[in-house]
Amino acid sequence: MPPLPVALVQAEPVPYDRPLDTFADEVTTLLADHPGTRLVMYPELHLCGAENPRDTAEPLTSARTATLAELAADLDIWLVPGTVCESGPNGEVFNTALAFSPAGELVAHYRKIFPWRPYEPYDPGDRFVVFDIPEAGRVGFSICYDAWFPELTRHLAWMGADLVLNPVQTTTPDRAQELVLARANAIVNQVFVASVNVAGPFGVGRSIVVGPEGDVLAESPDAGPTTFALTLDLDDVARTRETGTAGVNRMWEQFRDTDSPIELPLYQGRIDPGRWRPRGGGPR
Question: How much is the pLDDT for 50?
Answer: 77
Rounded mean pLDDT for each run of 10 residues along the chain, 284 residues in total: 95 92 96 98 94 88 97 98 96 97 98 96 97 96 98 98 98 98 98 98 97 98 97 98 97 95 96 90 48
Domains identified in the chain and CATH numbers: 4-275 (3.60.110.10)
Q: 226-263: b or e for each residue (b if 16 or more CB lie within 10 Å)?
A: bbbbbebbbbbbbebbeeebeeebeebeebeeeeeeee
Model pTM score:
0.96
- Give dist(CA 195, CA 164) in Å, integer: 8
Residue 87 CB burial class (10 angstroms; 0-12, 13-18, ≥19): middle
Question: How much is the pLDDT for 284?
Answer: 42
- Asked if the peptide bond before residue 212 counts as cis, ω within 30 degrees of 0, the response is no
- Give dist(CA 185, CA 194) in Å, integer: 11
Query: To which H or E segment does residue 63 belong?
Result: helix 63-75
Q: For residue 261, what are the contacts with CB-CB under 8 A and spacing of at least 6?
A: 270, 271, 272, 273
Question: How much is the pLDDT for 224?
Answer: 97
**Residue 195 dihedral angles phi and psi, to the nearest 5°:** -110, 105
Question: How much is the pLDDT for 283?
Answer: 47
Question: How much is the pLDDT for 1?
Answer: 78
Question: How much is the pLDDT for 281?
Answer: 54
